[in-house]
DNA sequence: CGGAATCCAAAAAGATACTG
DNA sequence: CAGTATCTTTTTGGATTCCG
């Protein structure tokens, strides 16, 4: 759904009848993998595309591509293709994207607290290597 | 998509391999209309179902029903059917839901700032009655 | 390597009708 | 009033292939 939120917001912006600021914010960070990408780029510095793929093993290339594209369109992420062979593309967070980090951090804290309350915070990470997204 | 985020999170919780707290938070507030609902319930007090419908004119009954159901399941919202004829159902925010309000408010502020920067903040609300969600 | 294009299965969402 | 059920259309997402 979340992407439909984004589309609805885009349309409202285009028509100048946008009147719900929190929707704008949500539309920019929701969508599959988006806050994961933002979080990684915002805390660990720039990543190449193939590195993001490794960081998000459950996401398909198609989806990562699509979400990065949206993030770039929304001004939250920079895209920088390098003239190497084969091509590498570096993604980094923009100042605007950086300004969202307090909100993402707050979500991280709230989620951690909630997990603790559910007594799942200390859970074992069973299956060998767990992908920490 | 966002609902798929929620499902993925539910599954992780069920399997005890949940390790990404911010996803938990996002999964609870993203999804069409959810933060609108939470915001209304959290700031204006309880609402009946039909009132929420009026507040979200662009949302179908089916969707509002579905999202309220998820919010109740997640413990963010209370559902209280009244024994009237015809039936009325009152929805209110829970303490847990209330604890999300700082994040939602931060999103509201960020979005407002962003709109101002885009010089769309003072835009006229053209089309007669604008649904303020 | 990073992406775009295509095809196809699955999921989401609108419209409508029905019920306590 | 507040849903539920059914049907149909639209949208998504995976898998695969091709290209610079």
Domain of A69, CATH number, reads: 1.10.10.10
Do B85 and B107 sit in the same domain of this protein? Answer: no
Nearest CA in chain A to B28: A111
- Domain encompassing residue B26: 1-30
Do B106 and B122 sit in the same domain of this protein? Answer: yes
Do B84 and B35 sit in the same domain of this protein? Answer: yes
Do A71 and A82 sit in the same domain of this protein? Answer: yes
Tell me which of A41 and A129 has the higher pLDDT.
A41
Helices and strands in chain A: count of H runs, count of E runs? 7, 3
Model confidence at A24, in pLDDT bands (50, 70, 90)?
confident
Tell me which of A17 and B69 has the higher pLDDT.
B69
Do A106 and A120 sit in the same domain of this protein? Answer: yes
Q: Render the burial of B6-26: b for 16+ CB within 10 Å, e for the rest.
A: bebbbebbeeebbbbbbbbbb
DSSP state of B84: -
Average model confidence (pLDDT) for chain A? Answer: 83
Model confidence at B94, in pLDDT bands (50, 70, 90)?
very high
Q: Which of B31, B100, B110 sits opposite A100 (nearest CB)?
A: B110
Model confidence at A126, in pLDDT bands (50, 70, 90)?
very low
For the segment B41-66, the average pLDDT, to the nearest whole number, is 94
Q: Give the pTM.
A: 0.85
Q: Which of B1, B36, B127 sits opposite A32 (nearest CB)?
A: B1
Do B24 and B36 sit in the same domain of this protein? Answer: no
CA distances from A90 to A40, A42, A51 (A): 13, 14, 9
Tell me which of A40 and B128 has the higher pLDDT.
A40
Average model confidence (pLDDT) for chain B? Answer: 83
Do A83 and A116 sit in the same domain of this protein? Answer: no
Half-sphere exposure of A69 (CA within 13 A, CB side): 7
Nearest residue to B93 via CA among B50, B18, B35: B35
Do A21 and A46 sit in the same domain of this protein? Answer: no
Q: Residues with Cβ < 8 Å from A68, sequence gap 6 or more?
A: A37, A49, A52, A77, A79, A91
Smallest CA–C1' separation from B90: which nucleotide? D2
Do A48 and A90 sit in the same domain of this protein? Answer: yes
For the segment A33-45, the average pLDDT, to the nearest whole number, is 92
Do A6 and A56 sit in the same domain of this protein? Answer: no
Residue B111 reports pLDDT greater than 70: yes
d(CA B57, CA B120): 23
Do B39 and B21 sit in the same domain of this protein? Answer: no
Do B130 and B82 sit in the same domain of this protein? Answer: no
Question: By the CB < 8 Å criterion, does A99 face chain B?
Answer: yes
Q: What domain count does chain B have?
A: 3
């Amino acid at each position: 759904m979340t992407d439909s939120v984004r589309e609805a917001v885009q349309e409202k912006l285009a028509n100048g009848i946008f009147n719900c600021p929190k929707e704008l914010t949500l539309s920019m960070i929701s969508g599959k993998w988006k806050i994961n990408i933002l979080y990684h780029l915002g805390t660990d510095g720039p990543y190449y595309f193939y590195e993001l793929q490794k960081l998000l093993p459950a996401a398909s290339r198609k989806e990562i591509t699509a979400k990065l594209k949206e993030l770039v369109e929304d001004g939250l992420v920079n895209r920088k293709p390098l003239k190497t062979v084969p091509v590498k593309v570096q993604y980094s967070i923009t100042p605007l994207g950086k300004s969202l980090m307090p909100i993402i951090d707050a979500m991280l804290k709230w989620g951690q607290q909630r997990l603790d309350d559910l007594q799942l915070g200390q859970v074992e990470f069973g299956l060998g290597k767990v992908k920490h997204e």
